[in-house]
């Protein structure tokens, strides 16, 4: 389901007029559909059928407390990568037992906070990290359940900044050496070595590399079991792509999970996955108002009030986000760079893009902005961060206030 569509020439989300939200909440402003988020979560959950599983939503994609609370209420677990994300999930009422802690550089304080909260699993990325978790668990008199994150050495076929599964990447340990790592960790008495995890990259439009990784992990699990390790969990990470361009074709969540399920059926394994983008990406838009038009250097510029500080994906990954006018205006098309007010040439939302002709004052909706949008925003150039809004049951509310100038200087002397 696409939550955003035109009704009487006006763009609406789940029946709620986006221009009325912009008029009251101001711009730039992120708007998310609760229904779409829940639909995507359920698509994962239902597709596992009766295979034991936990869908651990990747908090990094969109960590707003209300979004987390929505997912916690639906039974979601959470994939976290920092103490800050742990704090958010606990504040949102997430079940600690369904939290998995990933990340290549966990600090002692973060590990200790996670042990104190009683999280479900640590996805460990190195031998020194295993040793640290063991010693901190010892001090607390607990046993930490851990999975080693292995690097299956597959090519994820995505942007090089968000591909993580090759040996040259900083993540995990080489799958070829994993057996040795488990053996060396065997004597660590405060670790329960019960799992194996992997994550090969993000925005994957082809599920085949993930399935290759699953096959490699399953082979490792067989070997580890033969060596007497009680491996009862496998975490296959996140990564499923979403449709940014009109002609993109992302794998369907149900089919993806079915292919995964077929590979783990009858293997006596609790399966975890960590989807982020595919749950929230398509569920959000960024609303921005056109400030100016100008033509310079033979190029047409649309200057909007949203910048790279609000949505950095185009600048950082050359990402494409569909841009549509919130009111269908019957004007023709134009080719323009849609840019923000920030003093950087790299501050753009689209370059050389064919869009409907727009004029100052018009509202634009930047599509598929629910994932890695607000969370990657900054206050560079003295720009307070945008408001976030949730559309739910036919109405809307602000779920994060627009930042103020006071917020910008908080903590400064």
Choice between 26 and 83, CB closer to ligand LLP: 83
With contact defined as beta carbons under 8 Å apart, do 359 and 291 qualify? Answer: no
Does 274 bind ligand LLP (CB under 6 A)? Our answer is: yes
Cα separation, 394 vs 21, in Å, equals 12
Residues 6+ apart with CB under 8 A from 298: none
Interface size with ligand LLP, residues (CB under 6 A) = 21
Report d(CA 73, CA 85) in Å as an integer.
17
Beta strand residue intervals within 211-283, DSSP E = 233-235, 270-273
Determine the interface stretch with ligand LLP among 198-206, 223-231, 246-254, 332-340 (rule: CB under 6 A): 198-206
94, 275, 284, 340: which one contacts ligand LLP (CB under 6 A)?
Answer: 275
Q: Does 41 bind ligand LLP (CB under 6 A)?
A: no
CA distances from 5 to 101, 130, 326 (A): 37, 49, 10
- In terms of CB distance, is 98 or 313 closer to ligand LLP? 313
Of the listed pieces 104-112, 217-225, 268-276, 303-311, which binds ligand LLP according to CB under 6 A?
268-276
Cβ(288)–Cβ(321) below 8 Å: no
Identify the H or E element spanning 77.
strand 77-80
Using the rule CB under 6 A, give the single segment among 185-193, 275-283, 303-311, 378-386 that binds ligand LLP.
275-283
Q: Determine, following the binding rule CB under 6 A, whether residue 278 of this chain makes contact with ligand LLP.
A: yes
Of residues 94, 152, 209, 238, which one binds ligand LLP by CB under 6 A?
Answer: 238
CB of 375 to ligand LLP, least distance (A): 8
The span from the CA of 359 to the CA of 352, in Å, is 17
Residue 233 burial (C-beta neighbours within 10 Å; 0-12, 13-18, 19+): buried
Tally of CB atoms within 10 A around 324: 18
Exactly one of 3, 237, 251, 325 binds ligand LLP (CB under 6 A); that residue is: 237
Q: Collapsing DSSP states into helix, strand and coil, what is residue 196?
A: strand
Strand partners, 336: 353
Nearer to ligand LLP among residue 21 and residue 173 (C-beta): 173
283 in contact with ligand LLP (CB under 6 A): no
How far is the C-alpha of 109 from the C-alpha of 54, rounded, in Å? Answer: 26
Please report where in the chains the tokens 């100008």 appear, as a residue.
294
Q: Which two tokens stand for residue 290?
A: 């056109």
| Residue 303 CB neighbours (<10 A) | 18
| x-marked contacts with ligand LLP along 315-354 as a string, rule CB under 6 A | --x-------------------------------------
Judged by beta carbon, residue 212 or residue 357, the one nearer ligand LLP is 212
Please report whether residue 79 would count as binding ligand LLP according to CB under 6 A. Answer: yes
Say if residues 305 and 27 touch (Cβ distance below 8 Å). yes
Choose one: 223-231, 238-246, 320-328, 340-348; the region binding ligand LLP (CB under 6 A). 238-246
The binding track of 143-172 with respect to ligand LLP, each residue x by CB under 6 A or -, is: -------------------x----------
For ligand LLP, which residue of 21, 37, 58, 147 counts as binding (CB under 6 A)?
Answer: 58
Binding segment toward ligand LLP, per CB under 6 A, in 210-218, 223-231, 274-282, 339-347: 274-282
Can residue 302 be called a binding residue for ligand LLP (CB under 6 A)?
no
Distance CA 308, CA 315 (A): 7
Q: How far is CA 291 from the centre of its chain?
A: 30
Residues that bind ligand LLP (CB under 6 A): 58, 61, 79, 102, 162, 199, 202-203, 237-240, 274-278, 313, 317, 371-372
């Amino acid at each position: 389901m696409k939550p955003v569509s035109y009704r009487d020439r006006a763009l609406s989300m789940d029946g709620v007029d986006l221009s009325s939200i912009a008029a009251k909440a101001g711009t730039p402003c992120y708007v998310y559909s609760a229904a779409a988020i829940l639909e995507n979560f359920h698509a994962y959950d239902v597709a596992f059928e009766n295979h034991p599983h936990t869908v651990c939503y990747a908090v990094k994609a969109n960590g707003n407390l209300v979004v987390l609370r929505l997912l916690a209420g639906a039974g979601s677990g959470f994939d976290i990568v920092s103490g800050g994300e742990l704090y958010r999930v606990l504040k949102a009422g997430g079940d600690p037992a369904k939290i998995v802690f990933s990340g290549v550089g966990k600090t002692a304080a973060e590990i200790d906070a996670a042990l104190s909260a009683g999280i479900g699993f640590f996805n460990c990325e190195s031998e020194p990290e295993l040793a640290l978790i063991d010693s901190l668990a010892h001090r607390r008199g607990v046993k930490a359940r851990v999975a080693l994150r292995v690097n299956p050495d597959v090519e994820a076929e995505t942007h090089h900044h968000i591909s993580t599964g090759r040996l040259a990447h900083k993540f995990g340990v080489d799958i070829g050496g994993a057996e040795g790592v488990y053996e060396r960790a065997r004597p660590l008495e405060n670790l329960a070595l019960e799992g194996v995890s992997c994550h090969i990259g993000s925005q994957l439009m082809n599920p085949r590399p993930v399935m290759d990784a699953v096959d490699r992990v399953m082979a490792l699990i067989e070997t580890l079991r033969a060596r007497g390790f009680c491996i009862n969990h496998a975490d296959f990470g996140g990564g499923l792509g979403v449709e940014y361009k009109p002609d993109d074709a992302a794998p369907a969540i149900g089919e993806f999970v079915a292919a995964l399920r077929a590979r783990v059926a009858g293997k006596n394994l609790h399966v975890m996955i960590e989807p982020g983008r595919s749950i929230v990406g398509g569920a959000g838009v960024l609303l921005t108002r056109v400030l100016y038009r100008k033509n310079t250097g033979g190029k047409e510029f649309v200057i909007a009030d949203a910048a790279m500080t609000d949505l950095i994906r185009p600048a950082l990954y050359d990402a494409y986000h569909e841009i549509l006018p919130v009111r269908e205006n019957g004007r023709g098309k134009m080719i323009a760079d849609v840019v923000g007010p920030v003093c950087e040439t790299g501050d753009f939302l689209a370059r050389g893009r064919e869009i409907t002709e727009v004029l100052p004052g018009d509202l634009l909706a930047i599509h598929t902005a629910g994932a890695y949008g607000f969370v990657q925003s900054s206050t560079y150039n003295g720009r307070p961060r945008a408001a976030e809004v949730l559309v739910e049951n036919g109405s809307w509310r602000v779920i994060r206030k627009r930042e103020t100038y006071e917020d910008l200087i908080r903590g400064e002397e």
